[in-house]
């Protein structure tokens, strides 16, 4: 099933890139990217009906993009479930704690720090 994920991922990337390029070529209200490189040169370079063709190409590309997105999502979910099942069967309880009671803290208290009453009463001699 993992091969299907990669088989869908490669066309998905190309379709996504193509969709971005087609949208950038279109002439919108602001002139689009084509207008930035020559003031509407895309319509004269590609013909008078370019807007209609680009709209149709964009809609078709988006449809393909949407189908690939849904297919990739379903395939990735299936692969993820398969991998979880394979690792869960191999470890069989790796996620469970070893005992049902929490670890106990040590019961012995640390020694009290030395205070002024434990200091030596005689001064050291030279």
Q: What is the pLDDT of residue 32?
A: 55
Residue 87 has a pLDDT of 81
CB 68 within 8 A of CB 12: yes
DSSP 3: H
Residue 91 has pLDDT above 70, yes or no: no
18, HSE (Cβ side, Cα atoms, 13 Å): 16
Alpha helices for the chain (secondary structure H): 2-25, 32-36, 41-46, 50-91
Q: Does pLDDT of 84 surpass 70?
A: yes
Position 86 scores a pLDDT of: 80
Confidence of residue 19 (pLDDT cuts 50, 70, 90): very high
- Is pLDDT larger for residue 100 or for residue 59? 59
Alpha-carbon distance 122 to 113, whole Å?
A: 21
Domain positions in the chain? 2-87
Residues 6+ apart with CB under 8 A from 40: 27, 31, 34
Name the pTM for this structure. 0.54
Statement: residue 65 has pLDDT above 70: yes
């Amino acid at each position: 099933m993992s091969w299907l994920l990669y088989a869908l991922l490669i066309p998905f990337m190309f379709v996504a890139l193509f969709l971005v390029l087609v949208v950038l070529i279109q002439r919108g209200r602001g002139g689009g990217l084509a207008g930035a490189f020559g003031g509407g040169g895309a319509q004269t370079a590609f013909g008078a009906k370019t807007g209609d063709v680009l709209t149709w190409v964009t809609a078709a590309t988006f449809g393909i993009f949407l189908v690939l997105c849904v297919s990739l999502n379903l395939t990735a979910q299936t692969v993820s479930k398969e991998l979880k099942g394979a690792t869960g069967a191999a470890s069989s309880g790796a996620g469970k704690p070893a005992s049902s009671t929490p670890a106990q803290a040590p019961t012995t208290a640390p020694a009290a720090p030395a205070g002024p009453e434990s200091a030596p009463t005689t001064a050291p001699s030279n």
